Structure 1
Amino acid sequence: LNRARGGSYVAVGLTGIAIFGVFLFLTYYLQLVKGYSPVASGLAFLPMIACILISSNTSSIVLLPRLGPRALIAAGMLIGGGGMAYLTQLTVTSSYAGSVLPALLAMGVGFGMIFSPAINTATTGVARQDSGVASALVNTMQQVGGSIGTAALSTVALTATATYLAAHHAGQLAPATAAVHGYTIAFTVSAALLGLGALIITLLVPSKSRLEELRNAAPPVDAAPVPSPALADALSSQSGGPSQVRQADRS
């Protein structure tokens, strides 16, 4: 029911769908189509990981206090979606430096702007007894998003591959071309999901100024409960004085 917290969970879930799709289908592309070894494929993802590290630290330390989570998360989704959209132009003969690396760099910057502010927002202002649940739900949303993304995007990609191969079955490169077509369709769906996520975050998460107003107006999460006047009168009449009421409040 908390808009900022709920929006953060939505952002983590949608990004989980997209990022697991990237790892899956881009790995397929590098190994099955371009002939990369497993080690070379893993090394090919390192630029994206480096950008995530730099972007997440910069966004959480420098940009989040100044811009607020809504601007950062929405911008990160748009940047990550742009990287996804760039991957839709992949072909069998595309090069890593010209067609894959720019997309990885953009997605690394975008994902770093999403995860760190979203996790920070999802766990800020939580009562001490609920902090474990709030933190665990972030991981749950990411894992659920990854599971849904892997299953749904695999179905989309395989269906697109089979349809393309049925219509263009001739030629030596037909299987590889059909597989790449399926991958690009999956990238298109992921880019659309990130674009939808940016819209949802813009509508759901409050602005920086509004979020500060809500946090300042909220009572401290560990504040002691104040008894109602009726309860105070009842305790006073039964115990014989305000000192007993204060003792009951402490109890």
Structure 2
Amino acid sequence: MSSTPAAREETAPRTVRHPNWTIAATMLASSLAFIDGSVTNVALSAIGKDMRGGAAELPWVINAYLLPLSALLLIGGAAGDHYGRRRMLTFGTLLFAAASIGCALAPDLNVLLAARGIQGIGAAMLMPNSLGILGSSFEGEARGRAVGTWAAAGAIASAVGPPLGGWLVDTVGWRAIFYLNIPVAAAAIAIAWRYVDESGGGRDRLDWRGALLATAALGALTWALTLWSSHHAATRGSWIGLGTGIVLAVAFVLTERKLGERAMMPLSLFGSRPFVGLTVLTFLLYGALGGFIVLLPYLLIVGGGYTPVQAGFSLLPFSIVIGMASRLTGRLTEKVGPRWPLSIGPIVTGLGFALMVRADPQASYWTGIFPGMAVIALGMAGAVAPLTTAVLSSVDGRHTGTASGFNSAVARTGGLIATALAGAVLAEKGASLIQAFHVSAIVTAVLAVAAGLAAFATLEARKA
């Protein structure tokens, strides 16, 4: 998205004193969310047995984290733009670490869900501001390399998380997986405090009215969806939450329209067809991926008799491919533009999902699971870093945290919907579980291909 020359000059990124340490701090902080997500999926079955949680309760272990994360990402990014991105990154990381200890010590499911919710609040602060720091610290090809490195680190963290978490579940217990976050958080805070330059911190007043309306709207909508997923039916409470969320969302749009460029989320951003296209792509692609990442480990453990560590290793090819290719695709996007990587990558991902129709947890992993997994990983490797780079490049330096927060909120909302739909699959057993997984594979394939087509239709043919 274009801006005036004066605005670009005013918000041009400064020379970074410690570029490598800056990237390291953002990688470590954001890796907390990646590690936590991947590890929790592997431990879901063990948590259900220990806490006596059934098919109606298990999705809440994930949704209790996704609900505040989705609802607060936008205000987390805007707060970083206003109060300082390093400050918000550090506080969010500290809160996430404290909540992780609460998860590990939880005596029952209710306390665990409450601690997971606090984790979501911390992640809503650290995620958009980690990308906001990169967006305000680097530009051009340097930004592409930085974002590619950040994405690769996230993939590596996701790769290490499931096998290590599965081993801990098998040998120590599921509570140990949350202690993995403590040393990572400590390192992120120390490096950010010592080496990362502060950015953001605008003197304009924060749009509190818009922030509260956005948070309340997203919270009501995600609550309604979570309530629906736990009951597998639309209840009176879910309808009330949905109606309230829609009313609050309309109020938010009207408020932001009135404030113009002083708004937390300036509506002028949506006047750009590429920005809208990136939003649609993010929702569809990450919705499909979120459902797959939740369902596959559960299918292998419950339907195939895999141990948690074996299920963790089954996801390893996915993260390895993304980790190896993300830095390269990030640099490539700065040279050729985002249209082709973001069109081809999701379509290839969709083909991989389609291959999962052949998945049989009781047959050979190498013939039933691995081919689809490899194709999905190849497609996502072509989309993760280009998508992040394109979003950061679509706005000026003042709004990198806001844009990152909004895009992350869209991604998490897509994942939340997928988790709600996954609850119906988690309720199945035996042959019905396998059949339900195959249906979900077809749905995710359609969503991923649609994401690629949306990118092709809305993004420019070449970089401006």
Shorter-normalised TM-score: what interval? 0.7 to 0.9
Alignment partners' CA distance in 2, 1:9 and 1:54: 26
Alpha-carbon shift at residue 67 of structure 1 (Å): 3.2
Indicate yes or no: 2:328 matched with 1:58.
yes
Deviations 1:106-160 (A, max 9, x none): 11121121121111111115222211101111211111110011113444x469x
Indicate yes or no: 2:363 matched with 1:94.
yes
Matched residue, 1:71: 340
TM-score after normalising by structure 1? 0.72
2:419 aligned to which of 150, 153, 174: 150
Alpha-carbon shift at residue 51 of structure 1 (Å): 0.7
**SS across alignment from 1:207:** coil
Alignment partners' CA distance in 1, 2:336 and 2:395: 21
Deviations 1:10-36 (A, max 9, x none): 222212111111111111211011111
**SS across alignment from 1:94:** coil
1:11 aligned to which of 281, 292, 307: 281
Matched residue, 1:192: 446
Alignment partners' CA distance in 1, 2:391 and 2:297: 31
The within-5 A match list for 1:183-222 is 183-208=437-462, 211-212=463-464
Higher RCO, 1 vs 2 (CA within 8 Å, ≥6 residues apart): 1
C-alpha contact (below 8 Å) 1:59/1:117 kept by paired residues: yes
Alignment partners' CA distance in 2, 1:205 and 1:125: 11
The residue type equivalent to 1:57 in the other structure is R
Runs of 4+ in 1 over 6 A off after TM superposition: none
Alignment partners' CA distance in 1, 2:274 and 2:403: 12
Indicate yes or no: 2:369 matched with 1:115.
no
Alpha-carbon shift at residue 6 of structure 1 (Å): 2.2
Alignment partners' CA distance in 2, 1:106 and 1:92: 18
Q: Which is higher, the Rg of structure 1 or of structure 2?
A: 1
**SS across alignment from 2:382:** helix
Matched residue, 1:82: 351
Alpha-carbon shift at residue 58 of structure 1 (Å): 1.6
Alignment partners' CA distance in 1, 2:277 and 2:422: 23
2:300 aligned to which of 13, 30, 37: 30
Alignment partners' CA distance in 1, 2:336 and 2:363: 38
The residue type equivalent to 1:128 in the other structure is G
Alignment partners' CA distance in 2, 1:53 and 1:3: 30
Alignment partners' CA distance in 2, 1:85 and 1:201: 20
Q: What 5-or-longer segments of structure 2 have no aligned partner?
A: 1-270
The residue type equivalent to 1:198 in the other structure is G
